[in-house]
Amino acid sequence: MLENKRILLIVAGGIAAVKVPDLIRRLRERGAHVRCVLTKGGAQFVTPLTLAALSGDKVYQDLFSLTDESEMGHIRLSREADILLVAPATADIMAKMATGQADDLATTALLATDKPVMIAPSMNAMMWTHPATQANLLTLQNREVKVVGPGAGDLACGEVGDGRMSEVPEIIAALSRFFQKTQGQGPLAGFRAIVTSGPTHEPIDAVRYIANRSSGKQGHAVAAALAEQGAKVTLVTGPTAEPVPDGVQVQKVETAAQMLKACQAALPAEIVVCAAAVADWKVEGAGVSKIKKGKAPPELKLAENPDILATLSAPGKDRPALVIGFAAETDNLIENAKAKRAAKQCDWIVANDVSPGSGAFGGDSNTVHLVTADGVENWPTLKKRAVAERLAERIAKFAERNL
């Protein structure tokens, strides 16, 4: 459940910070992306260099660092994660969180975030049982802050009792349970979605095929975003290196014909998003043996592939309520996208310019225009995941009103 999850790990100043390197290692082994914020206190126990080396990302420490701010403002830092984890969470940072202080990067990110927060408290037993700490804990729990631990046992100060930060496996398990729970909850809970993604491979012969430059990033991100909104997602994907998002059922295919078949097998569904770069043509009579090199190159005769989007959009009792296509254009983007929406009879089209250098194919960002019956919405250039989240939110709003 942690695959591709983005965790902003806030390391406060407790001796348990020495466990953080192992926590990062274990999280990354499970496919999570970890970015660290290190408080002044935390830096007494673990170095930024260690955290940077293990997380493979920059370590953020200073609220007023211009370079950090220009590269990744503290607001964005707190927004780009899927969850903020404070480990260890000292009595001090819990108190600051409970009273809404923001006097350093960690507390500012915690106050600015719109994402869930989890804390792993760690402190001396007397501090843990102190009414002030217990009151702060209650305040945080009332604000939906998730708490893992603390455990009981020998404490660094030589005393025995509650206050010992949970062991790394327990923290990992708490995070997995959290993401498990959030799948299947949300505005799209109860809705079924089919998403196509990636390229198709159309065989020429036993070893050769026609393909395209789709990486599957955009389609896979759409599948992940719909799952996070609670939808039951079937991702039908051509061959890609893109990891399968958490909480998504995947059907791996090669050709357009197989992709159509897999989509039809996944019906009925309320939502369809066709983000795949489906080959319009296949090679007629593609054989199962390898074409031998002759005097002249072989002539390839191409034949039409089935149009998956148009097939799923066709009026009928099983037609999904909301069918969304993508339009990959190099010229007259909006006009062509509008024409495509009409021709394919789908409800929305996400139009993107795929000209060389646009980075749409294979890149991490995308600039899209949402074409609906009500007009065209021009979205700014966003990371593909952000495009997907924004699309999923639009779909959730549509579902709330119309489904």
- Return residues touching ligand PMT (CB under 6 A): 196, 198, 214-219, 256, 274-278, 280, 305, 307-309, 325-328, 340, 352, 354, 360-362, 366, 384
CB of 367 to ligand PMT, least distance (A): 10
Nearer to ligand PMT, 128 or 361 (CB): 361
Nearer to ligand PMT, 230 or 245 (CB): 245
Spell out a b/e string for 164-186, using b for 16 or more CB atoms within 10 Å of the CB, else e: bbbbbeebbebbbebbeebbeeb
- Name the residue with tokens 């290692």: 25
Q: What is the 3-state secondary structure (H, E, C) of 150-183?
A: CEEEECCCCCEEEEECCCHHHHHHHHHHHHHHHC
* H helix runs in 162-307, sequence order: 168-182, 217-228, 256-266
Q: In the chain, what is the greatest distance between 2 CA atoms, to the nearest angstrom?
A: 88
Known active-site residue 157: yes
Nearer to ligand PMT, 37 or 276 (CB): 276
Nearer to ligand PMT, 68 or 202 (CB): 202
Q: How many C-beta atoms surround the C-beta of residue 118 within 10 A? A: 19
Q: Is 234 helix (H, G, I), strand (E, B) or coil?
A: strand
CB of 70 to ligand PMT, least distance (A): 28
Active site residue: 157, 263, 274, 346, which one? 157
Nearer to ligand PMT, 9 or 371 (CB): 371
CB of 299 to ligand PMT, least distance (A): 23
Cα dihedral across residues 72, 75, 80, 83: positive or negative: positive
Q: Is 327 helix (H, G, I), strand (E, B) or coil?
A: strand
CB of 368 to ligand PMT, least distance (A): 7
| Cross-strand partners of 368 | 352
CB of 279 to ligand PMT, least distance (A): 7
Residues recognised as catalytic: 157
